[in-house]
A = this chain, B = another copy of it.
Amino acid sequence: MLDADIIKKAQSAKEASGILYNCTTAKKNSLLKAVNARLRSETSAILKANKKDLKNASKIGLQKVLLDRLTLNEQRITQMMDGVKDVAKLPDPVGNVIEKIQRPNGLLIEKMRVPLGAVGIIYEARPNVTIDASVLCLKSGNAVLLRGGSEALHTNKKLVEIIKMALQDVNLPTGCVEFIDTTDRKAVQLMLKQEKYLDVIIPRGSQKLISFIQQNSAVPVIAHGEGNCHIYVDSSANLANAEEIIFNAKVQRPSVCNAAEKLLVHEKVAEIFLPRVVQRLRQAGVEIRGDQKTRTIIKDTVHAQDADWFREYLDLIIAVKVVKNLDEAIWHINHYGSHHSDAIVTGNKTNGERFLREIDSAAVYVNASTRFTDGFEFGLGAEIGISTQKLHARGPMGLVELTSTKFVVHGKGQIRK
């Protein structure tokens, strides 16, 4: 029963993707406009559905942070609509020729961007993802099969209904957006086996969820993994800059994947630098965990364990280590890091270049906060996630990363010798 339902929805998305594949940009933008018109006219129905979810959530005693993420109001719906408008304004990557090869035999070979096809999105609590992810997929010509968190079930169902209304408003098949409306966890497992219909699965959620999906999916996965991000302060660093960067990267929004979790400091500047930065961090409520050398400089510091160097806290905690030199910093980051975002603060150009070259992370920085790893901050205009894997897309993913390519070959009767 569940099996049949999920197969049917995956199949329906795949079929609809054939129509979207050849949609003009104007048509796709008119769809996005229709989504916004429906979001406006259905606002009270959305809020009603959201109330049901909130009621259930408070019954089961959902954490306050999660309750806040789940809550919609008129302002948040307006923000969603602004997001849809922004995506409508973005250039459509589909049909772009990104490479031309003229062969000696006269063949002209073009590499052209095309939609991926049908995209599976598996996500947790926040209902705005239902709209954000759907419009990004639709604008890039992809159909989508959504699987949201159980807490937001009623809200998500309503939002998908609205997109389906908009699809009908512009005469596109409602299968362009399908939604798995069961809270049965088996549904995820079944989705992972729909490789016949789904071209990719993008999971957004906890590391545990993402690992499970990577381990079990027959559909290719683009994983948004965790961010154990480092700031290394070199001996030649402008220490005032370094302080601002660390403070920003740790404190501005500690719960996100591009926040700094580790501070490495060159031994030559540790004694001057650590006291002042630690004081400022502690004033902002940050817990400091230090290696042995840090603890001789900052006496009242918890001892960082080996496990600390691997951890993503997503909280007001930072582990601090004093290193001998750039080599040790690079080794430490490549060994313990999660290859998300790492920064060096330095006044030495050669050291900066070595760091940028030798650190193998999705984003490497010289003299800037790791908090910039983000689709909007990178100028992509929107973001469906931040890939921490190396295939297909790495780092912030926008519309272009939701496309594949094909080779388009123009001949005049050529045959192979």
Please report A residues at the B interface, Cβ cutoff 8 Å: 18, 21-22, 95, 101, 103, 107, 109, 114, 116-117, 195, 199-200, 214-215, 218, 220-222, 238, 241, 244-245, 247-249, 252, 334, 356-358, 360-369, 371-373, 377-379, 389-392, 394-396, 404-416
Contact in complex: A220, B389 (CB < 8 Å): yes
- Report which residue of A101, A109, A116 has the largest number of chain B beta carbons within 10 angstroms of its beta carbon: A109
Other than A248-B416, A369-B414, A396-B407, give 4 A-B pairs with Cβ distance below 8 A. Answer: A22-B358, A101-B378, A215-B218, A391-B392
Consensus secondary structure, chain A interface:
mixed
Return the contact of A391 from the options B218, B222, B373 (Cβ within 8 A).
Answer: B222
Contact in complex: A394, B406 (CB < 8 Å): yes
Contact in complex: B334, A18 (CB < 8 Å): yes
What residues on B are CB-neighbors of A365 within 8 Å? 409, 411
Q: What residue of chain B has the Cβ atom nearest to residue A367's Cβ? A: B411
Q: What residue of chain B has the Cβ atom nearest to residue A366's Cβ? A: B410
What residues on B are CB-neighbors of A367 within 8 Å? 410-414
What residues on B are CB-neighbors of A373 within 8 Å? 407
- Report which residue of A101, A377, A407 has the largest number of chain B beta carbons within 10 angstroms of its beta carbon: A407
Q: What residue of chain B has the Cβ atom nearest to residue A193's Cβ? A: B215
Complexed CA–CA distance, A249 and B18 (Å): 27
Contact in complex: B390, A116 (CB < 8 Å): yes
Contact in complex: A406, B368 (CB < 8 Å): no
Q: What residue of chain B has the Cβ atom nearest to residue A352's Cβ? A: B410
Contact in complex: B407, A363 (CB < 8 Å): yes
Q: A101-B378, A214-B218, A358-B21 are in contact. Are A404 and B394 (CB under 8 A)?
A: yes
